[in-house]
Chain A
Amino acid sequence: MSVAGETLAGAGDLTLRKTRESLWSKARYKFRHDVWGMVALGIVLVYFVIALGVWLGIWGQGWSAVGGEKWGSMSAEYWFGTNIIGQDVYDRAIYSIKTAFEIGLVVAVLSTVMGAVLGAIAGFFQGSWTDEVILWLMGVLDSIPFYLFVAAVAFALGGYAYSMHLAMIAVFWTITARLVRGEVIKLKNFEFVEAAHAIGVPHFLIIFRHIMPNTLHILLVQSTIVFVAAIKTEVILSFLGLGVKDGVSWGLMIAESTQEVLAGHFNNFVAASVLMFGLVMAFNMFADSLQDALDPKKVS
């Protein structure tokens, strides 16, 4: 064996590309050179630190205390003034960052996991009854009017605090699942998957070792998109009375402000919308840059 090996080594193409990089380091490189993406990530991190502070009890704790006068204006004590019953708008707006992250993270992570698993299974067994059932379920969930669905879940769960989260997860996973399914259908016809079959790798290992890791970029980008969608949806749901039950959120603040703005009190409205716009905008830009860096097919 060795004799032939040596002669081959002479003939073989041994020179390697000198640029050495993994797929992730390439993405990191691209992202680092994306100024807007880095700025956006910085802003998101600032928000995240604030949310962490609220969670640890460092600030934003006075959100429910009724202290000031009705509709008080900005002052040293109440930076953003007070609301209709004299609560501190600043503390409420800050506390809402935590609420937003809670909703965004819970919904994004769980719906992505669910979408990834179901989408991968559907795609891998494309055309089988498993696929048909998952497709049918996605079709069904997509065709129920969303706000009605949330309301229905809220009814069914009898006012359970997380019914909004559950409803969002139940609806948002279908988008991820469709994307993953499409990608898996493409991937499973790749020759490296056939090679795994030829070796005798069991199906579940093929899905989780060979196929799923190749969909990670979709999952990462998709979860940032769901994060934003969840925060934006919360606002509408809270306005409709279907949203956050305990605590305060930007949605509740804006809902509160609908009566105030026509009377000329903008504190609640401006505080909540500006903070929310900042986070959503930064996250959208971050998601964009992430996609540029990770998705080889993304055209810009």
Chain B
Amino acid sequence: MADTTPLLEVRNLTVEFRTEHGIARAVDNISFDVGFGEALGVVGESGCGKSVTALAILGLIPSPPGRIAAGSIKLNGRELVGLPESKLRKIRGSEISMIFQEPMTALNPVFTVGNQMSDVLRRHKGLSRKQAREDAAELLRLVGIPDPKQRLREYPHELSGGMRQRVMIAMAVSCSPKLLIADEPTTALDVTTQAQVLEEINLLREKLGTAVLFITHDLGVIAELCDRAIVMYCGMIVEEAPIEPLYDRPRHPYTEGLLASIPRIRDRKLKRLPTIAGMVPDLLQLPDGCRFADRCEKATGRCQLEIPTLEGARKRKVACFHPVNG
């Protein structure tokens, strides 16, 4: 189904931030699609531009200092870049909704859970106060929160981290969005809670058929949840592939290095963990060529001078002059 028209179509998106030392390009000319009902993972290390991409889709880039410098974002064929704020507001929370990393701070501490949830329902669905509360309770039940009527009367600080993240999820799916953006939703949670929340997201996806854009630094989480993934490095997409081939035979040296270096439970302990040498370059002082060239063992003179473009078959793309596992 994702083969016909995609739900979300991002083309040549560039996001810039003004800093004291010049313009930092947090996202540089990226393009990707999300199909209906698809779960797309976006992986990368801190500063690679994955969260900025998410905020750009919702039109939430803090401006100033940031702005969408170029590109197009289409939801269901409708252009979002340049749409007036009042129209964007109608989309936020209803057609696209988002869950954030920090469940501790993402909810307003001085209003009850019920108040915040019914706010969204009343705004987007025009429900009555009473109906909104009933729907909110039903949603909490849907995400596996026991005794939902009571929870609606509670304040965020009275709930645990995992509970709060469930409330966020319930709020996010309350208006049956077509796309759910999850920005590191389990990073701040403990492993056992993370497992609960991930399971909840998976169940909801099956039940509601919502497409999910799942942003994380954790390749393990992506592997469990997503159909397809894109790998970002320094504001660019370096690889895009369905999940199994990506993990089986990564084509970009960065993806390969990242996969190798994640700590994972092994049957036998390794003497040394594989590493990627060096560190991520400063966004203000990017190299001329491939941004990974300085850390790449395969880099040649060409890599230092020219930026490789994302190329390949429609589902399996890589931005590298010397791809591996080819």
Contacts and interface: CB of A to CB of B under 8 A. Distances in A.
A29 B20 CA distance: 9
Interface string A17-42: 11100000000011000000000000
Given A29-B20, A30-B20, A19 B282 contact: yes
Interface in A233-276: none
A15 B287 CA distance: 13
A127 interface: no
A13 interface: yes
Contacts, number: 20
B20 A18 contact: no
A55 to B, nearest CB: 39
A29 to B, nearest CB: 7
A13 B279 contact: yes
A195 interface: no
Given A19-B21, A29-B20, A30-B20, A11 B275 contact: yes
Given A29-B20, A30-B20, A19 B275 contact: no
A268 to B, nearest CB: 47
B278 A15 contact: yes
A10 B282 contact: no
- The size class of the interface chain A forms with chain B is 10 to 19
Contacts of B277: 10-11, 13
B278 A17 contact: no
Contacts of B285: 18-19
B284 interface: yes
B95 interface: no
Interface residues of B, number: 11
Contact of B282 (A11, A14, A18): A18
B290 to A, nearest CB: 16
A13 B278 contact: yes
A14 B294 CA distance: 12
A10 B281 CA distance: 17
Contacts of B275: 11
A18 B282 CA distance: 9
A15 B21 contact: no
Contacts of A13: 277-279
A13 B295 CA distance: 10
Nearest to B284: A19
Contacts of A10: 277
A289 to B, nearest CB: 15
Contacts of A18: 282, 285
B254 to A, nearest CB: 15
A208 B277 CA distance: 39
Interface in B2-29: 20-21
Interface in A195-224: none
Nearest to A18: B285
Nearest to A17: B282
Contacts of A11: 275, 277
Contacts of B284: 19
A1 to B, nearest CB: 18
Interface string B266-293: 0000000001011101101100000000
A122 B20 CA distance: 37
Give the most central of A15, A17, A18, A30: most B CB within 10 Å: A15
Contacts of B282: 17-19
Interface in B229-284: 275, 277-279, 281-282, 284
Nearest to B277: A11
A13 B294 CA distance: 11
A271 B77 CA distance: 69
A14 B277 CA distance: 9
A15 B294 contact: yes
Contact of B279 (A15, A19, A30): A15
A30 B19 CA distance: 12
Contacts of A15: 278-279, 281, 294
A218 to B, nearest CB: 22
A161 B21 CA distance: 52
Interface of A: 10-11, 13-15, 17-19, 29-30
Interface pairs A-B: 6 shortest CB-CB:
A13-B279, A13-B278, A11-B277, A18-B285, A11-B275, A17-B282
5 contacts: A15-B279, A17-B282, A18-B282, A19-B282, A29-B20
Given A17-B282, A19-B282, 18 more contacts: A10-B277, A11-B275, A11-B277, A13-B277, A13-B278, A13-B279, A14-B278, A15-B278, A15-B279, A15-B281, A15-B294, A18-B282, A18-B285, A19-B21, A19-B284, A19-B285, A29-B20, A30-B20
